[in-house]
Amino acid sequence: KKMFTILMAVVCCLAAATAIAQAKFTEFPIATGNDNTFGGGCAFDGTNSLYAIVGDTINQYNITAQFLSSDGNLYGPRISIGQTGSGPLVAFDGTNYLIAWTDSFPMFAGGDTNGTGNIYGQFISTSGNLVGTTFTIATSANIKFGKGRGGLVYNDTTYLLTYLKGGNHIDYLYGQSIGKSGNLIGSPIQISSNYARENAIAF
């Protein structure tokens, strides 16, 4: 079995001209599963963090999530999204979390293994309840999404999701703005005019 762990490091102090570093490391399991179980994105709501997970003991593609408290403990039970897929990402908008994922794609598929499919979204409240229903964010996307080929961020008013589209070795980077109610804002934006792969996004 495979276990996800997280390390929490705290406290670095300066005393006079001498730097004194103190670190406390606490390791704890977030989820336990087989080799097809992988961690996804994580976001912080000011009190707790929500960690997305793909795969469990029932189905290697089940999308679930787990709250982590700021003091390094699991908070509440594992949350089932009720959907299957790959590469879940998470962002927080001040009220709810948004989890985004693609149609299922084998994590260990390498080389020129290609796949296209949809990207979906689901809101989750800070109490762990699903808010609204699952909705489609993008279609015909490269679903090697969980290998660093997608990003999700929230700014002051909207989410921005980035993903690849076009086909194997001819992908372009796209973006889609999403409102806090799950409405798509405008059409997909083509960001790059040349071949794109891994990308990162921040606000």
Q: Encode pLDDT of 45-78 as tens digits.
A: 999 999 999 888 778 889 999 999 888 788 899 9
Among 123, 122, 117, 105, CA closest to 60: 105
The predicted structure's pLDDT at residue 177: 98
Q: What is the pLDDT of residue 137?
A: 97
pLDDT of residue 6: 41
Q: What is the pLDDT of residue 4?
A: 47
Tell me the backbone φ, ψ of residue 143, rounded to 5 degrees.
-95, 20
pLDDT given for residue 111 in this prediction = 62
Question: Which whole number is the average pLDDT over 172-190?
Answer: 96
Using the predicted structure, report yes or no on whether residue 20 has a pLDDT greater than 50. Answer: no
Higher pLDDT, 89 or 6: 89
Q: Which of 116, 130, 117, 14 is nearest to 64 (CA)?
A: 130
E runs forming strands in 34-150: 38-44, 48-54, 62-69, 74-84, 86-92, 96-102, 116-125, 130-142
Averaged pLDDT score across all residues of the chain: 82
pLDDT for 29 beyond 80: no
pLDDT exceeds cutoff 90 at 95: yes
Return the pLDDT at 12.
33
Taking 60 as the threshold, does the pLDDT of residue 1 lie above it? no
**Residue 131 to residue 181: CA distance in whole angstroms:** 9
Task: Give Cα 89 to chain centroid, integer Å.
Answer: 2
Q: Which two tokens stand for residue 24?
A: 């406390």
* Residue 96 CB neighbour total at 10 angstroms: 20
Residue 147 confidence class, pLDDT cut points 50, 70, 90: confident
- Distance between CA 64 and CA 81 in Å, rounded? 5
